Structure formats: structure tokens, C-alpha cells
Amino acid sequence: MHPHPIHDFQYKNGELYCEGVKVSAIVKKIGTPVYIYSYKTIVEHFRKIKEAFKPIDPVICFAMKANSNLAVLKALVNEGAGFDIVSGGELKKARLVKADMKKIAFASVGKTDEEIVDAVKAGILFFNVESKPELENIDRIARKMKKRVQVALRINPDIDSPTHEKINTGSLKKKFGIDLKTARAIFIGQKAYKNLLINGVHIHIGSQITHAEPFLAAIEKALAFIDELEMDGVKVDYFDIGGGLGIIYQNETPQTAKEYADKVLPLLKGRKFKVLMEPGRFIVGNAGIFITRKLYLKDNGVKKFIIVDAGMNDLVRPSMYGSYHEIIPVKKAGGRNVVCDVVGPICESGDVFAHDREVANVKDGELLALLSAGAYGYVMSSNYNVRPRSAEVMVKGNKWAVVQEREDFKDLIKGASIPEFLK
């Protein structure tokens, strides 16, 4: 069926199931397009990381940017997860699901004053800071609030990670992090920031990285940096090793959590600092599928196109990064496969889910599933072409629930009005 086993999405008697629930039964009730998440996959992947890194008991901060559905977040909080957040909205969601604020790291290169104030009030663990002006601003706000705030500096180890150019963040050509020389000067001169305790080092070199080598190189570089600081009398209490663990989308051979831990742990064991990790995609990527309906097959004599009812506004990864998502029929039929492009209804030539792919030529009106859609799927969706965002569903065993309702037209024009001078 598939180049890799996605255990909680399987065929039974020719029908695709998520855990104990028939996918077509969900669609019958709530229509298409729809994201469907497996609770079991989410929790198991979190536990795999927790188990693999048990010897150092890290704070595992789920990267909320990958999937911020409240049910997904609550499932992870119940397992003891913290969050890596990048906006005020994500902070509010963390509070809604009753996350432990002492397990929250706030990153992002452009935090506003309002976001900083809210995070200080909430009592988060620390800010991951990406530049000197940002540091000065947090210090100024903390002084006004009469608070002392913990800060980790995101250092840029200047390591090129072998991943897509748009998700490689570890080289100095990118907007992320502080170069080592500047970072060292900040640590040593931190008395200048009276309301900050600069006691953490943060690295994050990119996303969807399938081998340990770039991580190891970055961690080693950061550890040498920490050792140097300690010789200068600077105490480092936290080392945030970021996220970026890759998953299988097509034919990648990513490391398991255990293989990654086996390589990384020897570097971190016996150290005085607390380790934080920020997995996102690794936990939710393969825990979600995206269901769309075939409208019809178009054949222009040169090429065939399966046209579906979902578009790049629903799942932008293939258009934005050229990402691969396996496409399988929800109901296995004896029909033939067809080599085609799978495309949506959006008025952009980039609105393509698959190029020249051999896909099951299901009947018009039948369902197709795009696999590995749990990360950077719904969170990146938009209302382009005045299209409502799809629904989200969570399945646990043989129970399921709509965890985000499908938008309707009223949602799309909420807050919109025609001014008097046009009437």
C-alpha cells in the first residue's frame, strides 16, 4: 500500500481507517476537505522521544507552529509536553489548554511589545532571543514591569543543513540567530541588561533533517561555545537543542528517536544544564491525513489531470516547497491507475498536489487521502479565492470528534463592511 507503514491509518476490507474509525464514515457526516488526526500516533511519537532521551529528562517543548489544533495541544499537555511558541496567539492557546508555563520557550525574530508583556505576565520559562535590539527591548519592558526575565540566546552555528533551502535556518545567510562573536560579547557583558538573566543557549538549524550529522555538528559547536563561556565565569542553565527531526514523506530514511538519542546523548550526559528540545513535525507529521474528493479527470491530449475539491489554500506545502505527499484512495477499487497531475480549483498554476504521479483513478466523487499531512497543513491554510478553511477531526480508538469546525461564508466576511461613502 505504501512505502512505509503508517500504523494508525490502514486498510481493512479495502476501506481506509484511522485507528478504529472508517474514514468514509467521517466524511459522510462532515464532508470534504477534512484533516483527520490520530490521537494514538501523536501520543506514541511524543513518548518515543521522551523514552529515548530519558537519561537526561529534557523538557520536550512541542513546536506549536507545526499544528496548533487545541485537541492536539491538549493531548500533548496531558502527556507532560511544554511548547515552543512563536507568537502571542500561540501563547494564548497554550494557556487555553492549561500548559505548564515553566515549560514554554518563546522564539521568533520579531516579537512585539505586547507579545513580550503578555509572556512575562504569564511567567514563561524563557525567551529565545535572536538579536541584540530584541534583547534590549525585552530588558526595557522587564524593567518597566519590575521583573527579572530569563533569556536564551539563539546562536547561529553557521551550519548548512541538508534540507530544502526554505526550511534551512542554520547558516548566517538566513535571518535567524546571533553570530558567535556577538553572542559571546552579550553573555560576558550581560550586567548591562539589569532585568535579564541571560542563562540559556538555543540552536535550531532547520526542519525535516533526516540524519544526525548536522545536529551533532551544531551541538558540538554550541557545547564548545558553552565551555568557553563557563571558563569566562558565565553560567549556562539551559541548552535548547531545537527541533528539526525529519519524517518519511516519500522514500526518506530518517533516524528513529532512539537512533538520534544514541548519537546525541553521549554529548549531553553529565552536563549541568537542563536540556530542552522542540520537536514538531516528528510528533504530528504522520499523525494526520487530508481527505479530498475527486471532481473529475481532465485530459487535454498532452496531459491528464485529476481535479479535486481541495486547493493550495487548504494544504500549501506542495505549492510552497514542492513537498511530496503520498496520495491513496480512501476506498480501494479494482480500477486502473493513471499518471497525472493532481490539482485543485485555485486560479494559480502552482495549485498542484502531485506532478506526473501514478494515482488510483477513482470514480468521480470518490475520496483520495493525502498522507503525512499532520504538520504544516491546516496551520498554513488560508481563505484565498474566498474559500472556507476545512474542518479538523481527531480520532481516538473508535471515537471521533470535530475539533475545528469547517468555516462558512459568514466566517469569511466577519468584520468586513462597505463604508458609507460607497453606498
Residues paired with 200 in a beta bridge: 152, 238
CA atoms in the 13 A half-sphere facing the CB of 236: 27
Residues paired with 78 in a beta bridge: none
Mean pLDDT of 57-77: 98
Q: 107-279: same fold as 9-38+285-412?
A: no
Residue 273 has pLDDT above 90, yes or no: yes
- Whole-angstrom CA distances from 115 to 108, 154, 164, 342, 387 are 11, 18, 30, 41, 30
The chain-wide mean pLDDT, for the chain, equals 94
Which set of grid coordinates corresponds to residue 128?
A: 529565545
On whether the 9-38+285-412 domain is CATH 3.40.1160.10, my answer is: no
Q: Domain spans of the chain?
A: 9-38+285-412, 107-279
Choose, from 18, 61, 340, 347, the residue flagged as catalytic.
347
How many whole angstroms separate alpha carbon 355 and alpha carbon 332? 22
Residue 104 has pLDDT above 60, yes or no: yes
Tens digits of residue pLDDT in 357-385 = 999 999 999 999 999 999 999 999 999 99
Rounding to the nearest 10 degrees, give the CA dihedral for residues 35, 38, 39, 44: -130
Tens digits of residue pLDDT in 291-342 = 999 999 999 999 999 999 999 999 999 999 999 999 999 999 877 899 999 9
- Whole-angstrom CA distances from 102 to 70, 127, 210, 241, 413 are 19, 11, 30, 17, 38
More confident residue, 40 or 208: 40
pLDDT at res. 160: 64
CATH value of 107-279 in 3.20.20.10, 3.40.50.2000, 3.40.50.11540, 3.30.300.30? 3.20.20.10
More confident residue, 24 or 209: 24
Question: Catalytic: 347?
Answer: yes
pLDDT at res. 159: 75
pLDDT at res. 169: 57
pLDDT at res. 174: 67
What's the pLDDT band for 2 if we cut at 50, 70, 90?
A: very low
